[in-house]
Amino acid sequence: MTKKFVLNIVLNLGIVFLVLSAWAGYNSGQVLYLGISIALLVVLIYLKIVLLKQVSREAQARQVEKARESAVKKYQKKNRK
């Protein structure tokens, strides 16, 4: 999970940097820099969406596992008596 946290921070920093680069390219009239910045920005946003979906799936799987464990514990307590 720490790996994904660090990856999220790097993606956020990259997105901010590319937005600023696109802004600077637009203001200076450098269409090439603007185009490259926008293309890379789209890629980083896609990667961020994929990462968020993975984390969401893992969180749901953990919740299901916790629910199963608590159900098993309740069942075991009930049968001990």
Query: pLDDT for 17-28, tens place per residue?
Result: 999 999 999 999
Cβ-based neighbour number of residue 11 at 10 Å: 17
Measure CA 50 to chain center.
6
Beta-carbon contacts of residue 34 (< 8 Å; ≥ 6 apart): 22, 25, 26
Cβ-based neighbour number of residue 63 at 10 Å: 10
pTM over 0.75: yes
The pLDDT tens digits of the residues spanning 56-79 come to 999 999 999 988 888 888 778 777
Domain positions in the chain:
2-80
**CA dihedral sign, ordered 4, 53, 44, 27:** negative
